[in-house]
Amino acid sequence: MDPVTLVTAAAAGYLIGAISSARIVSRLVAPGQAVEEETVLRLDGTDATMRLGTVSASSVSRQHGSRAGFITYLLDVAKVAVPVAAAWHAWPEWPYYLVVSVAAFVGHVWPVYHRFRGGRGLSAIYGSLLVIDWVGMLVTAIGGML
């Protein structure tokens, strides 16, 4: 493996993964209103609450509706799937696509552009799995729903 290509793949994956689809969609759907970075969820049937300190498709969905949340999810999947697929096709003999995948996940969860406050990473994982093993992605999603 070429160390320059390895570092370039990691940096590119991180910087692309750090793009916040949730913030972009939120600004397009409701200009002037930022997506909430601190969401409080009330657990059903109890008085307990849970605080989420993430900016994700779920928080966009709660704040701006399910359509905006789903668009955010699709953009998050695409921002990881496209560079992973590009690395896979550019260097089929070396696993640079795995480096891009992990770096994009890290960028999604800890984005440098937003003081390291990002999403939870589920859509980034699905974006990687879509390219690396799409059957495994379907099995994982169906198994999770069951």
| DSSP for 42-68, written as a single string | EPTTSS-EEEE---SHHHHHHHH-HHH
- Contact at 8 Å (CB) between 63 and 25? no
Q: What is the pLDDT of residues 16-27, one digit of tens each?
A: 999 999 989 988
Q: What is the pLDDT of residues 102-113, one digit of tens each?
A: 999 999 999 998
Mapping DSSP to helix (H, G, I), strand (E, B) and coil, where does residue 40 land?
Answer: strand
Instruction: Quote the DSSP letter at residue 118.
Output: -
